[in-house]
Amino acid sequence: MQHKGAKISVSPGRRADMRITFITETWPPQVNGVALTVRALAEGLAARNVDVEVVRPGAAGRDGKVGLVSARGVAMPRYPSMQFGLPAGQALRRRWITQRPDAVYIATEGPLGASAMRTANALDIPVVTGFHTRFHDYAAHYGVGLLAPLVRKHLLGFHRRAQMTLVPTRALQAELTDAGIDHVQKLRRGVDSRLFSPDRRDLALRKSWGVHDNAPVLLCVGRIAAEKNLGLAVQAFRTVQARIPGARIVMVGDGPQRAALAAAYPDALFVGTRHDTELAAHYASADLFVFPSLSETFGNVVLEAMASGLALVAFEQAAAQEHVAHGISGLVVPATDTRGFITSTYQLGMDSDMRRQLGISARRSAQRFPPDAVICEFESLLNSLMRGSPDDHLRAAA
What pLDDT does 31 receive?
Answer: 84
Mean pLDDT across the stretch 292-296?
A: 90
What pLDDT does 363 receive?
Answer: 98
Instruction: Write the CA distances from 177 to 42, 117, 186, 249, 382, integer angstroms.
Output: 26, 20, 11, 39, 20
Which of these, 310, 295, 212, 194, lies nearest to 252 by C-alpha position?
310
Query: How remote is the C-alpha of 283 from its chain's centroid?
Result: 17
What is the reported pTM?
0.88
Per-residue pLDDT band for 13 (boundaries 50, 70, 90) equals very low
What pLDDT does 79 receive?
Answer: 61
Helix, coil or strand: residue 252: strand
pLDDT value at 391 more than 80: no
What pLDDT does 15 receive?
Answer: 41
Residue 311 backbone phi and psi in degrees, to 5: -70, 155
What pLDDT does 32 receive?
Answer: 86
Q: Using CA atoms of 305, 298, 106, 6 in order, give the dihedral in degrees to the nearest 10.
A: -70
pLDDT value at 198 more than 70: yes
Encode pLDDT of 83-132 as tens digits: 778 999 999 999 999 999 999 999 999 899 999 999 999 999 999 999 98
Establish how many alpha carbons lie within 13 A of residue 216's alpha carbon, considering only the half-sphere containing its beta carbon: 30
Q: Which residue has the higher pLDDT, 116 or 3?
A: 116
Helix, coil or strand: residue 32: coil
What pLDDT does 81 receive?
Answer: 61
Mean pLDDT across the stretch 301-321?
A: 96
What pLDDT does 297 receive?
Answer: 83
pLDDT value at 398 more than 50: no
Q: What is the mean pLDDT of the chain?
A: 89
Helices (H) and strands (E) in the chain, counts: 16, 17
Which of these, 187, 157, 188, lies nearest to 390 by C-alpha position?
187
Residue 133 backbone phi and psi in degrees, to 5: -140, 135
Q: Which residue has the higher pLDDT, 161 or 212?
A: 161
What pLDDT does 82 receive?
Answer: 65
- Structural domains of the chain sorted by starting position, each given as residue range(s) with its CATH number in brackets: 9-190+371-397 (3.40.50.2000), 198-366 (3.40.50.2000)
pLDDT value at 349 more than 80: yes
Q: What angle do CA 234, 239, 244 make, to 5 degrees?
A: 110
How far is Cα 123 from Cα 215, in angstroms, rounded to an integer?
61
Least confident span in 46-50, 150-154, 240-244, 375-379: 150-154
The total number of residues shown for the chain amounts to: 398
Task: Indicate the helix (H) or strand (E) that contains 331.
Answer: strand 331-333
Question: How does DSSP classify residue 145?
Answer: G
Encode pLDDT of 254-268 as tens digits: 998 999 999 999 999
Mean pLDDT across the stretch 134-160?
A: 65
Share of the chain above pLDDT 90, in %: 77
Per-residue pLDDT band for 150 (boundaries 50, 70, 90) equals confident
What pLDDT does 16 receive?
Answer: 54
Q: Using CA atoms of 41, 314, 347, 338 in order, give the dihedral in degrees to the nearest 10.
A: 160
pLDDT value at 396 more than 70: no
Q: What percentage of the chain's residues is helix, strand, coil (to nearest 5)? A: 45, 20, 35
pLDDT value at 322 more than 60: yes
**Where does residue 27 fall: left (phi above 0), alpha (psi -120 to 50 degrees), or beta otherwise?**
beta
pLDDT value at 337 more than 70: yes
What pLDDT does 273 receive?
Answer: 96
pLDDT value at 144 more than 90: no
Q: Which residue has the higher pLDDT, 144 or 175?
A: 175
What pLDDT does 10 receive?
Answer: 42
